[in-house]
Every structure is written in structure tokens, then in C-alpha cells.
Structure 1
Amino acid sequence: MAPVNQPTSQLITEEGPVVAIFNVAMIGHVNPTFALVQELRKRGCKVHYFLPPVSSIRAAAVESGAVPEGYLPDDPADFVMEKCGIDEPMYHPVQEILEADRALWEKTVWPLATVLRCGEHAVARCRQLGVSVILYDPFVPLGLVTAGKLGIPCASLVTYPGMGSLSDLMCTMEAEGRLAYAASIREPYAKAIQDRFDVDLACHFLTRRQYYAKTNFVTTCEDLVAQLPPPGQHQWADELRTKFSFTAVGCLVSNSAPHVITARSDSFIPRVKSFGHSLPVPELSEQLAKGRKIIYAALGTMALSDRWSIDLGRVSSYNLPIGTTGKAFCQHVWQVLLDTLRDLGDEYFCVLSVGKQPDALDFLGSSEAEIFDQLPSNVLIRGFVPQVEMLNNYASVFISHVGFNSLQESLMAGVPLVAIPQAVDQPANARKVQERGWGQAFFKPMDTVTSDALAKALREICNEGSTYRQAVQCARAELAGGAPRLAERLVAMAQEAQEGRAALGGC
């Protein structure tokens, strides 16, 4: 391994800049980047993509034209970023952490612990590759530290509508002192990072739940960026305004880019094994030929995996009752949807994505036979499907949790929405759907999502004379062009850095 103080290699190759991307194993964070990789490759860039060892994500990176890189020299198959530092905390012993603060503590620890575990390798590898510019997910401060150590430009890629979409949560955490508490947890990690890499992460900032750079790109149009609270009301919001800049570059969704549909282990098998993950093209084509309206329903990979058993009420901005798990939310919506499809009849056909949880459909029965007996004839169950392909070619309407990527994928496909938000940024996204006429939204869904209300919304949205589809088409025009625009910005950042170094005599 090369020493960390070795001079940086030449910035720009004859073929173009060398770009390094740092990301997490979350499909909502990686999927927008694959179209960007394709655009960078068109411009002669070499792209090295630092990723956890998740085969589906790395395969998509390769397909898009990137070279996958591990976070450690031996690239162990069992490396999980989110577990870094959890068993060896710097702050205080695990047993002293109150259960209510455990999730906050873990989310505070692992990004910084990842830097300490993986930093030497990342710095040495990027130097060896001659990396010119770094793009990183805000959850991965390793990208920020690596760029700082090598003296090269970097930017973060914000794959949600900005911190303004989390205003209710952030304001509550500030009022409760939890943002300050998280800053105190970060302090010893920040000191260790500065001692080792001579990079100051400014971990005292209240907004260091996400590690923004001076330059940050948001993967949407300006109109979809969520606004911060007014100046002078909240310290965290004022900090964002004064310390960081954010540029909306447009949507990165592309029909030609790879799209990961699940990043979970293949060993996680549902009780009902026959649903599969392929797109039922013959059946969908047949339904379209019969003139039927095709409903696509998918409530997000997080609710179907990481949030299946946890309380979403605390991160829902009061959209869900305290104690509501991902399972309770999904099964409520699914039961209502099935009842609705029975009432709507053969004019409608639904593809319902239910994920891979072994107990996903236990509200219908305990065996495969019982479950299938409860399904209406106009409903087809899948674990996951290729969402971009489904939206672009078959869907008349999308019943969605309106996670930011799902929202933009629907808009780019010209498909109006029924927005049923869970938590985090989704209620804010759903408000935008309602305000802009892109569909209809169901807030507080445990109370408002009923068979009558859902049937009414679906009929209105699918009505040929409705204005929803026209509104979505206008949104698509505003969003288009994000991947090429961002690729040009990154190339320009690398070239400006090269010119600056040349003006200083190559220092």
C-alpha cells in the first residue's frame, strides 16, 4: 500500500478525467448513478466505483461502464458499512446507550468509523488510479476525506429533494437536543480522522447527519427541491444556507441505464416462492391489447426490507401512528388494494410488488394455496419487477410510497401517481404530487386509504379526460437531461483543477 503522503498523480489522462464514485448499498442511492456513469464514459472518462460487496449493485456498475472497487484491500464478502464501529464505539460503551437513542447513535457512528477503517486504502487506491474528481453519497464521508487528503475536487450527490424534505424531523431533533447529542458522538471520531488524514470534517455542524461538500448536486429540477424553513428560525437550516451550495441538475433516470431491483441476499426467500421478479411481458401485453388499465403498485424497497419490523411513526412527520411498522403499513394498503380490485373488475389489471419478506402475505393465509385463493383474478403478484421498464411500457397509474426515485421514475415515464407516503421525505413528495396535479395523495394512510377512496382515485386518474397525465408530461420536460448535465459539470471540475495546478507550476 502506498504511503498516504505520496504526491498525487497526474489529474487528467489523455482519454479524459478519472472519476471515483463512493456509494452505499441502497438501491435508491445507486440507481440514479448508472446513467451518469454511461454519460461519463461517453466523454472518455474512466469511472471507478467504490461499493460494498453486493453482487447486484456491482453488476449494474459494470454494465454501465464502471470498474467496481472494494472499500478494503482484500474486499471481504462480509463487509457491511453500516456495521462499522458499532461493536467498538469511541463515544461510550454500547450498554450505556438508551434504547431510544440507539438508532441515532448507530447512524452517527458508522459513516465516520468507515473512514477510519477504509481511509488508507481509499486514499492509496485513488492516488494509484490518478483520480481527478470524486463524487460521493452524503452518507459516505470517506469520499470527502479522500478528496481532501489528495487535494482534488469533490461533490456529493443528493438523491432526494434536499434536507428541506426532512424539515419536520430535523426541527424536532433540534428542539429535543438530539442534533447536539449526535454532534457530541461525532467529536472523538472527527479528532481521530483529522489526526490520521489531516482533514477537518467540521463534525460539529448539526447537519453532519449527511456529509455535504462545498458543492452538492441534487438529482432533480429546481422546482422539486424542498424548501428549508425561513431564515433565522432553525440553526440547522441556517447552517445549510451559509456553509453549503446545492445545484439542481435534473433527473438522472434513463431507459438505457441498468436498474437494480433488489440489493438483498438471495438466501432471503419468501414463503411463497412462485411470485418471482421477472416482468410478466406476455400477460401485460395481453391486458393492454384488451384495453385494460394497468395499475402498478410498489411501496418501496425500504418498507419491504429494512423498515419491515421497525416503528415508522417516529420518522413519518406524524403521517403514521407511533408503533406502525413497515409490515403494518404495507399490509393495510395491500388489503385495501385487493378489495378495490375486486370492486373495479376486469377493466383494471394490477401488478403488485410485495418484496421478499417471508411473512409478506400472511394476512391472506398460511399456505400458498390459501393465499392464491384470496387473490382477485385481476391481480398478479411479484416480488420485485424492473420498475423503469414497467412504468415506461405498461403502467397507466403507479400506486407508490413516492420515495424520491420512484416519484421521478414515474414522472419521467409520464405515469400519474396515487401517492401513499410512509415516512422521511415521502410526505413532502406526496404534497408535491397533490399540488402539481401529478396524481392524488393519501396522507395519514392508516386512516384514509379505504377501498371506496382508492377506487375513486384510480377511476379519476385513469379517466381519459383527466388532466393528470398532461401535468406529468410537463414535469418530465422540466426534469430531463440530468445525467449529461452532471457529467459535464464533473468533467469541468476536473479540468478546472488541472488548470489551477498548472498555473501554480504543477504543485
Structure 2
Amino acid sequence: MAPMIQPMEQQITVEGPTIAIFNVAMIGHVNPTFALVQELRRRGCKVHYFLPPVAPIRAAAIESGAVVEGYLPEDPSDFVMEKCGIDEPLIHIVPEILEDDRAEFERSVWPLAQALLCGEHVIERCRQLGVSVVLYDPFLPLGLLAATKLGIQCASLVTYPGMGSLSGLMSSLEAEGRLERAATIRRPYGKAIQEKFGVDLSCDLLTRRQFYTKANFVTTCEDLIAELPALGERNWADELRREFSFSAVGCLVSSSAPHVITARSDSFIPRVKSFGHSLPVAELSDQVAKGRKIIYAALGTMALSDRWSIDLGRISAANLPYGTTGKAFCQHVWKALLAAMEELGDDFFCVLSVGKQPDALDFLGSSEAEIDELVPSNVLIRGFVPQVEMLNNYASAFISHVGFNSLQESLMAGVPLVAIPQAVDQPANAFKVGQRGWGQAFFKPMETVTSTALAEALRRVCDESGGYRQAVQCARLELAGGAPRLAESVVSMALGGC
């Protein structure tokens, strides 16, 4: 494919090492990397960013200074990496996996199937470019494969607080024997990769849900890395300690870096005219001038898109009941929030991001008029808004699912949180919010989130005398400087350092 060249005004003439980055089409995984790209470019590095064909993500990578590369020679526009190997999986290996948990089966298959499909092109392209260092999301063994085959240095970019944040899920999977079954599924793919490329990806490891390597950079401060179970308590955790090392580099959030707010199409719910994705600057400025507390509420792009119809309970470590979909979770919180805003009255104003599912607000009615009638006058609904800008310039408090990027963006903006976690690493992040005094946290939210409880939590976190904002400011100091620090480490690797 012909690489996508960056705008002329961003090109840098200083010759430096060439860095390749590999990533997935997930906002929480790509957004932290754009500030790193900017820092690498400032140091004279050339950055080639391998990405799936998702226009908003590719545009942000180019804006940050990278040259975008495709995963296949012709860079087909319909390539979806998460579908690799799924249509023709090796079902005969462990057939009961499909019956018990197809999602787990697919999660084990597609990363390795993608490596088999895309490996030849990516390895040859990295050779042509003279890549010195490979950085890759640990979802993608393709990055590890290319670096190992070419004998160049590599590191994974861990954009969540480490596998300790997944302790509940991982321990449950181990107890049910699902980690071992997943390893069985991976085994023939790993063998095929070894036969084709001569590279052993150690696919039998229990922790190969993430393809870590010897050096792994965690994009946060040391204090925010979640602890693993005690030594000897869980096999997967002991394996992680034995096989890999992790370095906290600090937060990569930057207000000057590109920030993708949605990786989907730009179509929004047609029946509500006020929906959109621009920041309502005039309205917000007016509310600030009136002395009102600005509440920003966003429950994460995954719950509002990919996980809208799937069971979050199975990946929540008992935080949500089995059968709770993204829609059920979001609408439960939204109902409580709308009622809480009525209770809070004119001293508060809320910007609520609801995504763009056609049935997002069907609990309010089936027409625009019905919905408008039931939305309080101190609530403004948007599909999405530029989150970093919203937090940095307007928000007094952030109602969040506390996905790791949202958590760190809030801390870096100095905004206290009301944490309402769903699944995966979010309960662990919410625990940290409460423990460190960064805000209020609701666990088992389908039971605990009520309009009264939410209104009281908002009053507390917005109270300047409550200590929440001061605690957040302290966290900001701990987190700062991640992008320059990580860029220096990468340059050192490229020049032959450790």
C-alpha cells in the first residue's frame, strides 16, 4: 500500500530512528498514544503507525505526526482485525468452547489469526522502513511477531492499570478452567505461526490474553498500577511475575494531542435534533457565568457501542448481575441522573453524553416531543463531546464509568469523579477513586445508584471544602510527564539502550 503522508507543515527534517506502532480500533487504546507520537516527532523520530481502516483514528494519528500503515498490502477498507479466523475457526479443537462462551473462543482466535494473515506484509514493511523499535498494544501479537522476526527491540503499551485490575475476571476464568481451555485453542495457531515465521509466541501461557513481552510500559504512575494477587495465590499472577516486567511511565494525556471521540460513523440519533458531538461552548459559558456547577456524564464508548447489547455481567467480577447489557446499565444510570438533576435544581447543569444508539432514550418515549418533555431543563444531551476539552475547561464533576483513560483524563484536568463502574478494570479503578479521595464510587450500581444517592454524591464532590479537588490535584502531580518520559525511553531503546 502507499503510506498516508502527514501534512507538510508537520514534517520534520531531522533524521532519527524509525518507530513502528501497532494498535487496535479501540479509543481507549489509541488516544493515549497520540501524545507519544508528538513527543517522538519532536525528538526527530519517524513514526509509522499500523492501524485498521477506521477513518477517525487514522486521521488523529496523521494529525499527531505519524505516517499511517495498513495491515495488508492493499489496505482493504473492509478489513476488521477482530474477525480474523472467526468465520473458519478451528472448532474441532475444543468444541465445547463455542457452546459455553463464543466470545472467549473468538478472543483467543482473532489475534493469532491476524498475525498469520498479516505477518508477511508487516514484517516486510518494517524491514523496508528500517524500523528500530516496535511499540504495540498487547492485544496484538503481530507487533511482537514482527519485532522478534526482525530481531529489533520492542515493548508493549499497557493503556490500563495492569492485569492486577483484571484480578477478579482472571481468577474466575482460572477457577473455571477457562484459561487453560483458551490456551488449548491458541496452541495450533501458535504452532502455525512458528512453522511459518520461525517465531515462538509462547501461546500456552495462561496470561496470553495479553501478549506482553519482556519490556512493558504502563501508561500511568506506579501508585495507579493495580496489585496482583499475593504470591502463590493464583497461577496466572505468579506466571505474570515470572515472565514479564512492567514500568510505570506516567500519564500520556495531553490537551494538545488529537483525541478521538468516536470510532464509528458520524450519524446520530435522528429523532432528537439537539444531539451532536460538538462542545456546547456558548451554553456552557453562560452556565459558568451564572455560577452553576457543571456536571459532565459519560459512561464510555464501549458500553454505548460494542457492549450495548452484550452481557456485561460475565466480565464484571460480580459488579453487575449476569444478563446486564450495556443498554440496561446506561439507562439505569441515566434515569437516576435525570431525576437527580431535577432534585439538584438550578445550581447545577449537566451535559450528558448518550452515544448514538437508536434506542438510547426509548425509556423516555418514542418521539422527540416525548423525550424533550421529560428531560430536565438543566440537562443538555449530546451524542459525544470532546472529553478532554470538556474536562479541562468546564466540568466541576465527572460522572464516569472510570475506564482508565477517562479516569486519568479527569485527574489530569483536576476534576473530581462520581465513579459508576461496569466491568473489566473499572471496578478496580473505582475502588482507587474512593480510596484516594478523588470522588465518590458506586459499586454494584444496579442496586446502589438511585436518584437520591446520586444527587448527594454530586453535592459532595462539588463542595470545594470537601477535599476532593485537592486530592485530585495531588494525583495530577504524580501522573504528569508521561509522554516525554516514555519518548526518552523509546529513543534510548532505538539507540541501543535498555
Q: Shared fold by TM > 0.5?
A: yes
What letter matches 1:258 in structure 2? P
**Distance in 1 between the 2:337 and 2:94 partners?**
43
Query: Which residue does the alignment assign to 2:241?
Result: 241
- Residue 377 of structure 1 deviates from its aligned partner by 0.3
Q: Find the residue that maps to 1:465 and give its secondary structure.
A: helix
Tell me the secondary structure at the aligned position of residue 138 of structure 1: coil
* Residue ranges of structure 1 left out of the alignment (5+ in a row): 2-12, 501-507
Which secondary structure state, in structure 2, belongs to the residue aligned with residue 154 of structure 1? Answer: strand
Contact 1:91–1:188 (Cα < 8 Å) also in 2: no
Name 1:139's counterpart in structure 2.
Answer: 139
Q: Which residue of 1 aligns with 2:396?
A: 396
User: Which residue identity does 2:150 align to in structure 1?
Assistant: L
DSSP 3-state at the match of 2:465: coil
Q: Determine if contact 1:270/1:356 at 8 Å carries over to the other structure.
A: no
Q: CA–CA distance in 2 between the matches of 1:113 and 1:264?
A: 24
Task: Provide the secondary structure at the position in 2 that maps to 1:182.
Answer: helix
Q: Indicate whether 1:458 and 2:458 are aligned.
A: yes
Alignment of 1:55-454 (within 5 A): 55-92=55-92, 97-266=97-266, 269=269, 271-454=271-454
8 Å contact kept, 2:319–2:427: yes
Structure 1 residues 110 and 269, CA, compared in 2 at 3 Å: closer, same or farther?
farther
Separation in structure 1 between the aligned mates of residue 110 and residue 194 of structure 2, nearest angstrom: 17
Amino acid at match of 2:264: R
Q: Distance in 2 between matches of 1:175 and 1:104?
A: 15
Quote the sequence identity (%).
Answer: 79
Work out the CA distance in 2 between the residues paired with 1:153 and 1:311.
39
Shift of 1:464: 2.1
Between 13-22 and 59-68, report the one with greater CA deviation.
13-22
Q: Is the contact between residue 341 and residue 376 of structure 1 (CA under 8 Å) also seen in structure 2?
A: yes
Q: What's 2:4 paired with?
A: none
Q: 1:14 Cα shift?
A: 6.8
CA deviations on 1:2-50 (whole Å, 9 max, x unpaired) are: xxxxxxxxxxx97111000000000000000000000000000000000
Alignment-derived partner of residue 5 in structure 1: none
Q: Compute the displacement of 1:274 (Å).
A: 3.5
Q: Distance in 2 between matches of 1:80 and 1:45?
A: 29
Deviations 1:227-250 (A, max 9, x none): 000001111000110100000000
Whether 1:16 and 2:16 are equivalent positions in the alignment is yes
- The C-alpha deviation readout for 1:464-493, integer Å capped at 9, x for no partner, is 211000000000000000000000001101
What per-residue deviation string (whole Å, max 9, x for no partner) do you get for residues 422-447 of structure 1?
A: 01110000000000000000111111
Query: CA offsets, 1:293-338, max 9 Å, x none?
Result: 0000000000001111111111111111111111001001000100
CA, structure 1 residues 371+310, in 2 after alignment: closer, same or farther (shift >3 Å)? same
Given that 2:94 and 2:185 are in contact with CA atoms closer than 8 Å, whether structure 1 keeps it comes out as no
CA distance in 1, matches of 2:222, 2:172: 26
- The verdict on how the C-alpha distance between 1:94 and 1:380 changes in structure 2, with shifts beyond 3 A counting, is farther
Which residue identity is paired with 2:480? A
Instruction: State the partner residue of 2:8.
Output: none
* Conservation of the 8 A alpha-carbon contact between 1:270 and 1:359: no
How far has the Cα of 1:264 moved from its partner? 1.0
Amino acid at match of 1:414: G
1:279 touches 1:386 (CA, 8 Å); kept in 2? yes
Q: 2-side partners of 1:70 and 1:434: how far apart?
A: 42
In 1, are the aligned partners of 2:268 and 2:275 still within 8 Å (CA)? no
Q: Which amino acid letter does the alignment assign opposite residue 188 of structure 1? A: P
**How far is the alpha carbon of 1:269 from its aligned partner?**
4.8
* Paired residues of 2:93 and 2:185 also in contact (CA < 8 A): no
Query: What is the TM-score of this pair, normalised by structure 2?
Result: 0.96
Shift of 1:270: 5.2
Q: Tell me, what secondary structure is at the counterpart of 2:246?
A: strand
Alpha-carbon contact 1:356-1:383 (below 8 Å) kept: yes
Q: Give the whole-Å Cα distance in 2 for the aligned partners of 1:271 and 1:321.
A: 31
Whether the 8 Å contact between 1:319 and 1:423 is mirrored in structure 2 is yes
CA drift at 1:222: 0.2
Aligned partner of 1:7 in structure 2 is: none
> Alpha-carbon deviation of 1:100?
2.6
Q: Look up the match of 2:472.
A: 472
Give the CA deviation at 1:272. Answer: 2.9
Task: Mark the CA change 1:59 to 1:351 in structure 2 (over 3 Å): closer, same or farther.
Answer: same
1:32 aligned to 2:32? Answer: yes
**Aligned position for 1:8:** none
Whether the 8 Å CA contact 1:272–1:358 is kept in 2: the answer is: no
Q: Matches of 1:456 and 1:493 in 2, distance apart?
A: 50
Match of 1:486 in 2: 486
Report the 3-state secondary structure (helix = DSSP H, G, I; strand = E; otherwise coil) of the residue aligned with 2:115: helix
Amino acid at match of 1:137: D
Q: Distance in 2 between matches of 1:492 and 1:92?
A: 46
**Residue type at the aligned position of 1:412:** M
Contact 2:274 2:381 in 1 (8 A): no
SS of the equivalent of 1:135 reads: strand
| 5+ long unaligned stretches in structure 2 | 2-12
TM-score (norm 1): 0.94
TM-fit CA distance, 1:94: 9.8
